[in-house]
Amino acid sequence: MRGSVAKATAALADLATKPSFTEVRVRKDFVYQVDAPPGDWSDRRLPPRELRPPAAQLVSPRGASLRLFLTGLFEAQARGRQGTHPANPRPLRAAGSGQSWVDLLASDARPAMSGRIFMNVADKKLRQLRNTLDRLVGADLIALPNAHLRGLKRYENFRLQNEAGTRRNGPNIKYELPKSTDVDIFSLPVDFFTKGWIHVLEDTEILFILMLAHYAAKTSDGGIRIDSETRLLHHGIGRDAYEAHFMLDWLNLVYVSPDPLRKAKGRIEGFTTGSQPLPHALRLLPEGFTAEAMPRVEAEIEYQLSRA
């Protein structure tokens, strides 16, 4: 994906031209739900997707829904004014020097023949984009003003919806660019997009970063402890996704300080005498995102393989 990541990263960097554009604001409803879902849930039996916050609903090993929606927030805030409802004049695909939505996404697609039909990389990325938009429509995070049309025209000028997604009692509302004075928002550094991290991190790693960014906006000392009940019921994150912090720690994007009573193999000193383990103390490291993502990830993978 090296070449595709380089092109998509450059396309995003070209959009971030305003000196004041240093962060991408996200409403907390995207990653946190106030009411715990009804039912008896655990790390062995996670709440179904529809009972999780929108960000957790979008996580997929191969899909692009989470990355596309976050890219949509970046793109809208890069060119729009606070407090307005952004339009979407950007085409799905373009020729020449024009930038389209497929240009903003990285992909591992390669040209291929299927029978007598040849599909180039642009065709494959466009198909992925259409499938991703359909999924975001299903989550009520995207609206299609041209849904009555057929083919690609159906998806042109798609509009962002509020980060809260599907509502139980009615339709979602239009997306409004957050103001700096709004409450219940958190932010991602623009470098998360313009240095390529949006393209190279796994969905579970992005979800973990979103969760930490949500708490970092409310924590002055940077030390964040998230108990398992909050992680599972209010963020919709299971243990497997939570363990994304290992890679993020290696990449210097997150600092992890374990409970001093917790031993290397996970045992708790004094557990049999009633001592209770503490969750890891976590801290998001915004300065880590200033590094170019692709070479940093490649170097870390090579290092970890050499250790193994």
What pLDDT sits at residue 271? Answer: 45
Question: Of 240, 182, 242, 255, nearest to 211 (Cα)?
Answer: 242
pLDDT in tens, 12-55: 999 999 999 999 999 999 999 999 999 999 988 999 999 999 99
96 pLDDT band, cuts 50/70/90, is confident
Residue type, 236: G
Identify the residue whose tokens are 């829904």: 65
- Domain with 243 in it: 2-307
Question: Of 17, 72, 47, nearest to 236 (Cα)?
Answer: 47
CA atoms of 105 and 11, how far apart (whole Å): 9
What pLDDT sits at residue 163? Answer: 98
Q: pLDDT exceeding 70 applies to what percent of the chain?
A: 89
Q: Are 165 and 141 in contact (CB under 8 A)?
A: yes
Q: Are 38 and 102 in contact (CB under 8 A)?
A: no
Number of domains in the chain: 1
pLDDT in tens, 280-308: 789 999 999 999 999 999 999 999 999 88
Tell me which H or E stretch contains 207.
Answer: helix 203-216
pLDDT in tens, 251-279: 999 998 876 555 544 444 444 455 555 66
Pairing status of strand 23-27 against strand 254-257 = unpaired
113 pLDDT band, cuts 50/70/90, is low
Give me the numbers of helices (H) and strands (E) for the chain, helices first please.
11, 8
Residues 6+ away with beta carbon under 8 Å from 261: 268, 269, 270, 275, 277, 278
Neighbours of 75 (CB within 10 A): 22
